[in-house]
């Protein structure tokens, strides 16, 4: 299967013009979009994604793995687009060990995809545990809401540090740019703070889990460490 990637712009936004040009040229059977995107954490422009769905000759799959932390979703638009599928995982809700998720879309497409699904691909135990946990979905979403609050506090604190450029996030992590990403990464790791260095993908980029710390004191401690090592 031929793969054609479309780079994001310098602010990690979807390049609508280029994306539509590539779709017109390549006529892809399948388009994948992450919403929010990983590893940048941002939501692409919803109007641009709708244009892509309307222009695509084949299926468009929107991956909403981080839906619990986002302010928007394409689930409500499933009834409007026959070629739209939405994927979600329960991993980001504290159920990563279950390795369980779902795909939503039109009955016609799901019936065809069901033919490709391996028999017994989801074990009995994950099914039982997920069924029980989803009976308390509101509790899981409350936990996600706490992470969103921590994300906002940590983002605000990072924005006070000279030399640190942050990017808005709708996921459970924050992407930020510093002049010496590797040095910052190593310095934080030595002090018990682990982030994800993305310098090989984009110069000077680090990604920090928004759930880090869990309280204002630890967030402040992290930001002080970052200030000393940026």
pLDDT of residue 180: 84
Q: State the pairing for strand pair 101-104/59-63.
A: unpaired
Token couple for 166: 């942050």
Q: How confident is the model at residue 199, as a pLDDT?
A: 63
The answer to whether the CB of 36 falls within 8 A of the CB of 168 is no
Here the tokens at position 177 are 């740019």
Burial of 38 (0-12, 13-18, 19+ CB in 10 A): middle
Q: What is the per-residue pLDDT for 181?
A: 85
pLDDT at 96: 83
| Rounded Cα distance, 150 and 78, in Å | 31
d(CA 176, CA 69): 18
Please report the pLDDT score of residue 98 as a whole number. Answer: 85
Residue 84 pLDDT: 98
CATH 3.40.640.10 spans which residues of the chain?
A: 16-124
For the chain, residues classed under CATH 3.90.1150.10 are 138-229
Helix (H) or strand (E) holding 62, with range, is strand 59-63
Name which of 99, 211, 60, 198 is nearest 145 in CA terms.
211
| CATH code matching the domain that covers 138-229, chosen among 3.30.470.10, 3.50.50.100, 3.90.1150.10, 3.40.462.40 | 3.90.1150.10
For position 222, what pLDDT does the model report?
54
> How much is the pLDDT for 43?
97
pLDDT at 230: 55
Residue 194 to residues 101, 121, 210, Cα–Cα distance (Å) = 27, 34, 12
Phi-psi domain of 226 (left: phi exceeds 0; alpha: psi -120 through 50; beta: other): alpha
DSSP code, position 192: T
Number of separate helices (H) and strands (E) present in the chain: 7, 8
Q: In the chain, which stretches have pLDDT less than 50?
A: 211-214, 225
Question: Which CATH fold topology does 16-124 show?
Answer: 3.40.640
Predicted local distance difference test score (pLDDT) of residue 216: 53
Predicted local distance difference test score (pLDDT) of residue 201:
57
- How does the average pLDDT of the chain come out, rounded? 87
Task: Note the pLDDT of residue 212.
Answer: 43
Give me the phi and psi of 57, to 5 degrees please: -80, -15
Number of Cβ atoms within 10 Å of the Cβ of 197: 17
Q: What is the pLDDT of residue 208?
A: 58
CB atoms within 10 A of CB 43: 22
DSSP state of 60: E
């Amino acid at each position: 299967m031929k793969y054609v990637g479309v780079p994001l712009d310098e602010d990690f936004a979807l390049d609508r013009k280029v994306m539509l040009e590539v779709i017109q040229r390549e006529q892809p059977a399948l388009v994948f979009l992450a919403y929010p995107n990983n590893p940048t954490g941002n939501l692409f422009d919803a109007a641009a994604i709708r244009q892509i769905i309307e222009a695509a000759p084949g299926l468009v799959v929107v991956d909403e793995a981080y839906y619990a932390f986002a302010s928007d979703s394409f689930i409500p638009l499933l009834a409007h687009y026959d070629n739209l599928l939405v994927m979600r995982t329960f991993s980001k809700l504290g159920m990563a060990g279950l390795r369980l998720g779902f795909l939503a879309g039109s009955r016609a497409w799901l019936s065809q995809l069901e033919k490709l699904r391996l028999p017994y691909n989801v074990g009995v135990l994950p099914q039982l545990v997920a069924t029980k946990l989803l009976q308390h979905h509101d509790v899981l979403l409350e936990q996600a809401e706490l992470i969103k609050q921590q994300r906002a506090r940590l983002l605000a604190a990072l924005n006070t540090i000279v030399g640190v450029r942050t990017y808005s996030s709708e996921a459970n992590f924050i992407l930020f740019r510093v002049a010496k990403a590797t040095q910052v990464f190593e310095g934080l790791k030595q002090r018990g703070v682990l982030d994800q260095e993305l310098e090989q993908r984009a110069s000077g980029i680090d990604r920090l889990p928004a759930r880090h710390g869990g309280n204002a004191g630890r967030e402040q401690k992290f930001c002080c460490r970052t200030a000393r090592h940026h």
